[in-house]
Structure 1
Amino acid sequence: MSDGPVGIALVGAGVISKQYLTALSTFPDVRVLAVADLDVERARAAADAYGVPAAGDVASVLAIPEVEIVVNLTIPAAHAEVASAALQAGKHVYGEKPLALAPADGAKILAEAQAAGLRVGSAPDTFLGAGLQSAARAVAAGVIGEPVAVTAVTQGPGPESWHPSPEFLFQYGAGPLFDIGPYYLTALVALFGPVSRVSATSRQGRAERVVGSGPKAGTSFAVEVPTHVQALLDFASGPSASATFSFDSSVPRRMIEVVGTEGTLSLPDPNTFAGPLQVQAFGEEAWRDLPVTGSTAGRGMGVLDMARAIRGGTAHRASGELAQHVLELMATITESAAQHTVLPLETGAPVVPVLPEAWDPVAATLT
């Protein structure tokens, strides 16, 4: 087993790469060694901006011996192809969500990794942030008694108003369910374990959208997926959930509330790493804040946890198996809405241990 910081390469230098580079460059237990992109000049610009020593196309970056983890930040349609290439090059892979476009592709990635003795990790890692980790501790401590039901809502007007190239967010593999849904569904599965069955409905609000910013502003594009999805979920551990994912609302709303036998817990926006975390017990007339402890280091916490787990020989939390269950869950929600029927899920999900409160991303632990 190697010692010292874990070598990292990013594949994909798009919008989200800045958040990863900002966080990963502050973690002493990893070293960002290279950035790759189909547009090599864009990769070079990103590398230069963050002091990364190498940039190039995907093949050249995968050939760097010191790279141990490939962070796959490509568009969803390329996730499986890039993950497979990284595994074939002998690299562990951590990808942006979703793991792949279809459960069969996700299962293939996991099988390839297992055969090669390599690891797969996947965003979102927001559930490792202080807010949701504190929520997990509160649930485990019985703050609201036995969890009974969950209401989860993410709705708004859609990303075309601010994203300069939003077309892919309305194509197969995206939409509100596959783009924003993983934050909510991963948070819930990390809290309550696997979902056993699903009933859903969906519709498409508009057949076309208009780019609202950047050089393509005013350009129309076709919408390929449902833009409003509602689902009822049964967790194998007992609780049920009502979940709404929408790009069709003029009123932004992001919430998760967990109803328990002793009170209700209001969780932070699962697309963030911080609080607030609030509770209202039976007999209380107002929400009260609960302590929020842990890291708010941002995107890349899952990569760091994976790197430390590689060195320590332990399980990482933002795992491919967790992402595969969420991928199957989203695919089953889609199929349930299309068939107008209740459908079971086939895969389970690993237990996700809560991070130690003292877990510190900027403290060097690998020497």
Structure 2
Amino acid sequence: MITIRLHNVSKTYGSGKQSVRALTDVSIEIPSGEIFGLIGYSGAGKSTLLRCINLLERPSAGEVWVDDVALQRLGKRDLQQARRKIGMIFQHFHLLHSKTVADNIAFPLKLAKLSKAQRQQRVQELLHLVGLAGYEHKYPAQLSGGQKQRVAIARALANDPTVLLCDEATSALDPQTTDSILDLLLQINRRLGLTIVIVTHEIAVVRKLCDRVAVMANGRVLEQGPVAEVFLAPQHDVTRQLLGIAAPHGTVDTTQEDTVATAAGEPPMSAAARLHVACAGAQANQPVLAEVAAMTNTTYTILRGTVDTLKDTPFARFTVLWNTGSQATLQAVVDALRARGCQVEIQGTTSPDTPIQAEAEVTV
């Protein structure tokens, strides 16, 4: 079931020569219960797109559907009702500083005209859910940043929404607190079956939390799909930059054995190919590089590498300088890596006399 459907959504601010196009023809479908990431640099249009989902920003063109309801077709009262099922949390919490934690969480319940007893019961349930039991009488000024965000999450969940929108929800937090908030969001997703859309510029957030991701720049979606596919085989330079991967250059065509050759038409005596190798799943924890090197009687040097997880999926990514004596050997190395389920890009070749420098320590 598709919970959120955006079809050709565009957003323009102003008019005439003073107009600014913030979004252009964005189409996204988010299944029920999924955690979906919107990632990109500042000014990419991520937050604008997020706010279009609950019509805090009304699109200039296109359609927004949530739970099979076209929000733009609703009248004011019906839209207010629909928004109660779309919770939202912000980077800077947006708490009412003159109200207690309990009053902040109960605020949307009061607007929904629940009785005092119902509000109190729901507040206690939410405080236990977000790990703040006993904090109901404290004020925001008495809380840490992570605790404030937990209150904001509890408030967003007050009306039992089906969708939770998160606008840079961890950007104002330190790394340790960020991890705890991400763990809480993951717990909420799994426990409540909530569909979560999270805007971030942090790769680590998407890596830990998201099932699928859309990469944005200049108000457009450049690529989208399962996190493992997008991160292990990025198709756009912006995605590569976010991931810290160099774009291919001097690429060798491995379908032609005579591509690398001297002026006399002979393959060089020795050559090193710079390969970007990525794999996910069980292969990420296997000695794939060593196996292929032994099979092809070659050697390699890891210039840069990461071994980690994408949510629950192990993944590994390496930039390797692979010493091959000919194009045919290079082809054999690439074929063997791909046969083991690895994504492989050839990012160039170098002469045997070129000094080798590691780009960074391998992260494990």
TM-score by length of 1: 0.28
Higher relative contact order (CA 8 A, sep 6+): 1
* Higher strand proportion: 2
Larger radius of gyration: 2
